[in-house]
């Protein structure tokens, strides 16, 4: 029975045949990557045995982030340790975990070339782990900034997801993974590590201080009152939001616009149709957790919610890269969105039906149990889909996912 559960076909022969045309294309403009970290990654790869599969390196790196999330659940479950600052070591572990994840994530490709095992599966596996990691990183950042189970944490999460999604959609259209002069996998990781270290040194309460406490008096007096009084954590969010809205998003959309124009496709219509799933995802995500009738924030269930919806996002983003590799149509829907939509509807119906305002359709206990069920459903559905797709790739390409059966010689 279990064997048949993993034997369902998600890919056609036509899609699999497209893998033979695969050629990895990437462009990284970051000066830090090209002139500093590249040498660090080349140095690191020599410490991995030649028998270690690149995908196993990727998966091992993801486990560092999983460990950090478990540490958060155990020691900083409220994502707001600013009252006592008792667990400063946790934030140093965040920095170590994220740095190791980034290192392993960059070494896996070098290991693939080193062992002659580069394949389309490597790009899919790498991208899938990156997509899942978005929710993990957002949880750690919310914890380090002392944002707690709050609207600020939700906004931080949404920006992380949308940024990654746009990059993935851009790669689907252009065929190239483009990383700008300032990008999340390099500068974003470094900035996050700096935030984690500062929280470890001074405690996350330091991010609660207003901006005027961080700048010189002369500069503080020149700032608008609302900005001067703004907590540094919110200043950080504002900077990230500004970069997303005015640099990352326009660059991704313009790259897709040029491709659509070259192909003679209507850009606006294409974007509206293709981005309907992510629009549905973000809308349902926001309206569920921000509903006044939801207890996800007030009862501190945000971490479980973020992990659950992070799995949903992981499948959505990975399906886009799968479509890119198999030269298929842009994916339009995933069944994992259905419970998210249901949760948003159930918690918001009282807003539209005044007679139900005093009698919500779901109780706090039911909402929590519904979320737990959603988590289990998402995990099972994602694992089944991932295992079947990976098995299809391995069978068609004659490779293995996490092992190297016989070391290939590189010319």
DSSP-derived pairing of the beta strands 177-179 and 26-28: parallel
Q: Residue 127 catalytic?
A: yes
Helices (H), 116-147: 120-144
CA distance 288 to 74: 25
Angle at 355 between CA 351 and CA 359, to 5 degrees: 80
Of 292, 289, 233, 296, residue with least CA distance to 80: 233
CA distance 101 to 66: 10
Among candidate residues 87, 127, 234, 301, the one labeled active-site is 127
CA distance 88 to 86: 6
Question: Where are the strands (E) in 238-288, listed by range?
Answer: none
What are the beta bridge partners of residue 52? 403
CA distance 147 to 141: 9
CA distance 59 to 52: 12
Cβ-contact 26, 176 below 8 angstroms: yes
Q: What's the length of the chain?
A: 411
Signed CA dihedral, 44, 50, 55, 56: sign only: negative
CA distance 149 to 160: 17
Of 90, 124, 96, 106, residue with least CA distance to 19: 124
Of 347, 303, 410, 314, residue with least CA distance to 77: 303
* CA 30 vs CA 35, 36, 254: distances in Å: 9, 10, 19
CA distance 110 to 130: 17
- What's phi and psi for 202, nearest 5 deg? -115, -5
> What residues are annotated to the active site?
127
């Amino acid at each position: 029975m279990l064997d048949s559960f993993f034997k369902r076909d998600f890919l056609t022969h036509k899609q699999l045949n497209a893998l033979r045309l695969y050629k990895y294309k990437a462009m990284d403009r970051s000066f830090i990557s090209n002139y500093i970290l590249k040498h660090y990654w080349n140095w690191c790869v020599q410490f991995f045995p030649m028998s270690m599969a690149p995908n196993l390196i990727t998966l091992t790196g993801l486990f560092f982030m999983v460990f950090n999330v478990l540490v958060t659940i155990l020691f900083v479950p409220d994502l707001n340790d600013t009252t006592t600052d008792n667990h400063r070591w946790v934030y140093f572990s965040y920095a170590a975990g994220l740095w190791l994840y980034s290192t392993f994530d960059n070494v896996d490709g070098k290991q693939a070339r080193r062992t002659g095992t580069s394949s389309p599966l490597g790009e899919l596996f790498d991208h899938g782990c990156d997509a899942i990691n978005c929710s993990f990183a957002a949880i750690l950042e919310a914890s380090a900034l002392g944002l707690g189970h709050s609207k600020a944490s939700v906004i931080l999460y949404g920006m992380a997801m949308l940024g990654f999604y746009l990059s993935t959609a851009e790669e689907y259209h252009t065929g190239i993974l483009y990383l700008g002069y300032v990008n999340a996998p390099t500068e974003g990781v470094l900035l996050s590590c700096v935030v984690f270290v500062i929280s470890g040194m001074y405690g996350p309460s330091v991010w609660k201080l207003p901006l005027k406490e961080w700048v010189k008096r002369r500069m503080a007096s020149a700032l608008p009152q609302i900005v001067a009084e703004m907590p540094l954590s919110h200043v950080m969010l504002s900077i990230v939001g500004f970069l997303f809205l005015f640099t990352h998003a326009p660059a991704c959309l313009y790259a897709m616009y040029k491709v659509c124009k070259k192909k003679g496709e209507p850009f606006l219509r294409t974007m509206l149709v293709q981005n309907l799933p992510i629009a549905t995802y973000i809308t349902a995500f926001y309206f569920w957790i921000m509903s006044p009738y939801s207890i996800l924030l007030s009862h501190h269930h945000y971490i479980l919610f973020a992990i659950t919806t992070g799995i949903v996002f992981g499948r959505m983003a990975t399906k886009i890269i799968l479509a890119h590799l198999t030269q298929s149509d842009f994916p339009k829907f995933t069944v994992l969105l259905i419970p998210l939509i249901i949760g948003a509807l159930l918690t918001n119906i009282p807003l539209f039906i005044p007679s139900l305002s005093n009698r919500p359709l779901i109780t706090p206990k039911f909402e929590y149990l519904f979320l737990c069920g959603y988590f289990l459903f998402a995990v099972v559905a994602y694992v089944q889909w991932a295992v079947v797709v990976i098995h299809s790739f391995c069978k068609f390409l004659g490779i293995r996912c996490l092992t190297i059966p016989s070391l290939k010689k590189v010319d």
